[in-house]
Structures are given as structure tokens and as C-alpha cells.
Amino acid sequence: MNKFDDSAAKLLRDKSLITENQYQEITAYRSLNIFSLNAELKLFLYLSVLLFTSGIGILIYKNIDTIGHIALLSILLIVIVICFYYCFKNSKGFQKTETTFENPVIEYLVLAANILTCIFIGYLQFQYKPFGTHYGLATLVPTIISFFCAYYFDNKSVLTIAITGTAAYVGLSVTPQDLLHNDFYSNPNLSYSAIILGGLLILYTIYSSRINLKTHFNLIYLTFALHLISIASISNMTDDYSYDGIWVLFGLVLTASSYYFYKESYEIKAMSLYVFMIVYAYISLNIFFFRILDLIDFSDIWTLIILASPIYCIGSIIMFIKLIKNFHKEIAE
């Protein structure tokens, strides 16, 4: 047993929160050095789902001319039906609060069935076009199915697919790489859509908290909202518009967003939300300073600014570390 665990157990005993016998039992149990493989096994299950669905995609791609479209679609549909049948048969049904399953395999079967459903609908639309030229429906249908599965089976991984599908339906890509390459500059409406979608996700978390509906999903919604609003705002702050001052509006949006996520990170005790909020706020603050410097003639003191920049960078790093340590200390108390 490490010193931290031992001191924590002693503190509980000293405060009379546990008895001496309970303290001895805790000490004896921890001295066995037993550790859990639960996280490792779940990781392997998750990797197996990704490898299986990737293998299905490769199989379709390489044998599309030899096996035949009908045969491939039939195999996909059979696998999807079997997965969903087992999941529905062994699930506890929909519950408003967080649901845990006795068999963790169900969680990953739901994920596999959902990914295969997306592949099936996409393949069906590509080959036979059941939705005609309405390609948005080919995105909307698996998105609706993903939301249903996420809430019925209480699956966070499927929820991320559903939110990604929602963003794709409105014309956004929300992977880290695609977000940075979205065409915000030539199409400002795209950035407006990102900010609106992020705002709607925030409003939904407020609503779900009031009705106590899957409140543990809020972190996922807020994470997507933070990235969408922040990246869209930052991209517009760095853009050169035909009229001056519009970047200030996006700076105010990002300021309000940072303040909200600052409060929420403490409310739900989310370190990831807090860290990304600080990073985005820091980037926007530097953009603001550079914008101000661009408007004012600092030609006489540019040398001083350049010399002071290393001190500024080091100070920023120290402040960042201090903020993270204080946040961790406060949420731990």
C-alpha cells in the first residue's frame, strides 16, 4: 500500500469515519497489491470493435465486385440484427438515470451494431440511392438511430457518433483535424452554424439537467460545444473582413463561452473541459493583443516587445501549471 492510501485511511480513522477494525481490514486488503484489469479488458473490447468494423469496411471495398452488393448488404444486415437482438434481449431498457449492465460486452455490441448500421445505410445510399438526391437523409437517419441507441442503452461512445452525425448534417466536420480545416474563411455561414450548434448543445444540457435526463452525458455535449464555439470564434477573430470590428463580436462570444465553461468545469468537476477552456481563452487573448498592436504604431518599441516575449511565454506556462494545480486541489476538496 502506498503512502498516500495509508495516510488517507489513517485520516478517516482519526476522524472516526471508520473503526479500528475497518482500518485494519483496509490495510490488510491493500497489502495484497491486488489490481483490476477492468480498464485493460474494456480497452481490448473497444479495439476489437474498431478492428471488426474496419475489417468489414475493407472487406466491402476489396470484394465489392466479386461478392456482390446484395450479398454484402445482406451480411451486414444479418450481423446488425443479431447484435441488436442480443442487446435488446439483455438490456434493462430505457432509464433516465445512468444505467450499468452486468455484462460489459453489451456496451461494445451496441457500439459495433451502431457503426455497422452507419456503414449499411451509407453503402445502401451510395449504391442504390433509396433517399434519391437527398444525401442529408443518409446522414440524418443513422444519426437518429445513434441518439436512440445512446439513450436507450446508455452508451457514451454511440452518443459521440450521434453528435458528430448532427454536425455533419449541418455541414460541419467535428474531428480534431477536420475542425481546423473547415472552410470558415470563404464561408462565414459555416462558422455561424458551428456557434449556433454549440449554443444549442449548451441549452440542451441545461434542459436535461432540469429534468434529470442522462445528466452524465452533459460532459460529452459540453466538450463538443466548447470546441465548436471556440474554434469557430478564433477562426473569425483571425480573419480579415471587409469591415472592421466584426472580430470583436466573436471575441465577446468566446469570452462569454469561456466564462460559462469555466463555471461548468467546476460544477461537474471536469479537468478536460477546464484545460481546453484555458487554452482557447489564452489563444483568443493573444489574438486580441496582436489585433490591438496592429492598430497602434509600436515601431519604436518592437525590439522591447520581442525581448520580452520569452518572459511572457515562460510566465504563461507557469500560470497554466498553477491554474491546473489549483483546479485539481479545489475539486478534490
Residue % of the chain over a pLDDT of 70 = 84
Q: Where are the alpha helices (DSSP H) in 3-37?
A: 3-14, 20-30
Please state at what angle helix 38-62 crosses helix 105-128, rounded to 10 degrees: 20
Residue 333 three-state SS: coil
Confidence of residue 242 (pLDDT cuts 50, 70, 90): very low
Q: Which of 115-119, 133-137, 230-234 has the lowest mean pLDDT?
A: 133-137
State mean pLDDT over 12-18: 76
Nearest Cα residue to 273 out of 229, 214, 208: 229
Q: For 247, how many CA atoms within 13 A lie in the half-sphere containing its CB? A: 20
Q: How far apart (Å, rounded) are the C-alpha atoms in residues 142 and 146?
A: 6
Contacts of 33 (CB under 8 A, 6+ apart): none
User: Which of 23-27, 197-201, 327-331 comes out lowest in average pLDDT?
Assistant: 23-27
Say if residue 25's pLDDT is above 90.
Answer: no
Q: Which tens digit of pLDDT belongs to each residue from 279-320?
A: 999 999 988 888 877 777 666 666 777 777 788 888 988 999
CB atoms < 10 A from the CB of 23, how many?
Answer: 17
Query: Residues for the chain: how many in total?
Result: 333
Tens of pLDDT, residues 89-133: 888 888 888 888 777 788 888 999 999 999 899 888 888 888 887
> What 3-state DSSP class applies to 130?
coil
Global pTM reads: 0.82
Has residue 181 got a pLDDT over 60? Answer: no
Per-residue pLDDT at 244: 59
Which residues are CB-neighbours of 273 under 8 A, at least 6 positions away? 219, 222, 223, 226, 261, 264, 265
Contact (CB, 8 A) for 221 and 205: yes
Confidence (pLDDT) at 85: 93
How confident is the model at residue 300, as a pLDDT? Answer: 62
Of residues 65 and 222, the one with the higher pLDDT is: 222
